[in-house]
Structures are given as structure tokens and as C-alpha cells.
């Protein structure tokens, strides 16, 4: 069974640009969550989607948005990039959104904003 895939793996952008990251969950998984990892703030929850509906959103500005498609694939978008958006963005999938379901992570997209 294929794992969670994220594209692209590396990305370099300049301030003010926008970026779209993609995540394909494990086949059969309906829940996709996104996390931002930085050395200073650690791992922070961005948002979670389940069956195309955003179930929860972390404490991030409106420049961060996402969506989930009917095949459970998810995208997140960051508009008007700032230097502080440089981070590793991790996507995780699980079968449901219940607390007892493990989340499996993808390899991440490393975003650098210059």
C-alpha cells in the first residue's frame, strides 16, 4: 500500500508570491491534516479535512487555506508569502478523524521564502 505522498518536496519562493502544496493520502483514508514545522514554533496544526469538509483550523492567518477533493487528495495554499512562512509542511492521513486512528505522515514539503 502506497504511503502519503506530498508534492513538491522542495520549493523556493519570494515574498509576496503564493504557493500551492499537494497531498495524496493513503488509499482509503478520508481524513487529511496539515502541519507546519519550524525550529522556533515546533509542530503546529494548520487544518484538517474529512470528506471534503474542513473540520478544524489552527491559529493561522487567513493567508493559509486548504481544500479536499472527492478522492481525498488535499491542497493547501499560502498567499502573499512572508519570510516566516519558511517551514516544513507536513501532511498526515488517517482512516477517520477519531482519536483512536493513527495518523500517517508524508515526507513533507520544505518551503523556503526569500
The residues of the shown chain that bind other proteins, judged by CB under 8 A, are 31, 33, 35, 42-43, 45, 48, 50, 55-56, 58, 88, 90, 92, 94, 96-108, 110
Exposed / middle / buried, residue 32 (Cβ in 10 Å: 0-12, 13-18, 19+): buried
CB 22 within 8 A of CB 10: no
CB of 83 vs other proteins, minimal distance in Å: 20
Provide the grid cell at 30: 478520508
CB of 94 vs other proteins, minimal distance in Å: 6
Nearer to other proteins, 10 or 62 (CB): 10
Amino acid at each position: 500500500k502506497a504511503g502519503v505522498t506530498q508534492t513538491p518536496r522542495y520549493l523556493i519562493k519570494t515574498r509576496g508570491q503564493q504557493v500551492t502544496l499537494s497531498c495524496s493520502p493513503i488509499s482509503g483514508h478520508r481524513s487529511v491534516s496539515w502541519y507546519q514545522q519550524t525550529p522556533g514554533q515546533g509542530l503546529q496544526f494548520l487544518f484538517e479535512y474529512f470528506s471534503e469538509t474542513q473540520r478544524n483550523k489552527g491559529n493561522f492567518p487567513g493567508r493559509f487555506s486548504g481544500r479536499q477533493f472527492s478522492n481525498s487528495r488535499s491542497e493547501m495554499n499560502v498567499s502573499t508569502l512572508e519570510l516566516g512562512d519558511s517551514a516544513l509542511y507536513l501532511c498526515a492521513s488517517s482512516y477517520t478523524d477519531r482519536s483512536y486512528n493513527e495518523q500517517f505522515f508524508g515526507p513533507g514539503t520544505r518551503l523556503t521564502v526569500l
